[in-house]
């Protein structure tokens, strides 16, 4: 199921507020034990912290990185924060190191096998959707992904993040990609650095 929450939903609100105080603090960086300021939601688990420090908000340099980013957000939608990140290794293995060309070769028998793997997020609709993304994008390079995420004629970079996410979802549906609504689109745009991904003052900003 898709979600329309903002990218800060990667952190459980009640847990983060318990750590950091009032909700308004969620817009401020948290000073960590290593002396570095980070987005407060990054502190909610070790896998989210690692993702924040190594992948979140960084523009992929290869097509496989763009595909990986969208796949992670498809699988994460509707689940507890960090669920897809916790299964990252299994997802990487299942989707052939996130090579769109190789993942596009997966078929119904492969899906049936993956649904039996306890390491996976065993959701047939999500598995089929990510394979569909691979088939659509298997010949893409980074420029194609960037073009997908760039506002087209009549659109403007100044539009709000919700509008950009809706536009992306429409474009993907036009390409035949299912299961990617505005919520997933917004997380994907933030994960890949198209939209601001960190709170002001975070050392990764």
Per-residue pLDDT reduced to its tens digit, 127-160: 999 999 999 999 999 999 999 998 654 555 545 7
Specify the pLDDT at position 178.
83
Phi-psi region of 54 (alpha: psi -120 to 50; beta: other; left: phi over 0): alpha
Angle subtended at Cα 57 by Cα 61 and Cα 83, rounded to the nearest 5 degrees: 105
Do residues 39 and 9 touch, judged by C-beta distance below 8 A? no
Residue 59: DSSP 8-state: P
Distance between CA 109 and CA 113 in Å, rounded? 6
Specify the pLDDT at position 159.
57
Give 160: exposed, middle or buried? Use CB within 10 Å, 0-12, 13-18, 19+: exposed
Give the Å distances, CA to CA, from 93 to 54, 78, 98, 158, 177.
Answer: 19, 22, 8, 38, 22
Number of neighbouring beta carbons within 10 Å of residue 182: 20
| 52 marked among binding-site residues | yes
Q: Strands, E, within the chain: which ranges?
A: 30-31, 37-38
Distance between CA 34 and CA 38 in Å, rounded? 10
**Segments of the chain with pLDDT less than 50:** 1-24, 153, 158
Residues recorded for the chain? 205
66-85 burial code (b ≥16 CB/10 A, e <16):
bbbbbbbbbbbbebebbebb
Closest among 132, 14, 1, 6 to 67, alpha carbons compared:
132
Specify the pLDDT at position 188.
96
| 149 marked among binding-site residues | no
């Amino acid at each position: 199921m898709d979600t329309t929450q903002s990218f800060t939903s990667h952190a459980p609100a009640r847990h983060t507020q318990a750590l950091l105080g009032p909700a308004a603090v969620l817009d401020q960086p948290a000073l960590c034990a290593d002396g570095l300021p980070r987005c407060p939601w990054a502190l909610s688990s070790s896998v989210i912290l690692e993702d924040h420090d190594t992948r979140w908000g960084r523009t992929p340099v290869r097509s496989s990185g763009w595909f990986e980013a969208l796949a992670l957000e498809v699988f994460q939608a509707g689940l507890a924060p960090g669920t897809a990140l916790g299964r990252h290794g299994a997802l990487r293995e299942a989707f052939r190191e996130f090579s769109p060309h190789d993942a596009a070769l997966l078929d119904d028998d492969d899906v049936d096998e993956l649904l039996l793997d306890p390491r996976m997020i065993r959701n047939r609709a999500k598995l089929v959707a990510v394979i569909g993304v691979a088939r659509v994008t298997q010949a893409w390079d980074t420029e194609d992904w960037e073009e997908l995420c760039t506002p087209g004629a009549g659109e403007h970079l100044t539009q709000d993040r919700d509008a950009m996410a809706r536009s992306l979802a429409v474009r993907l549906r036009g390409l035949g990609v299912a299961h990617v609504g505005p919520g997933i689109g917004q997380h994907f745009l933030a994960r890949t650095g198209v939209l601001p991904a960190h709170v002001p003052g975070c050392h990764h900003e």
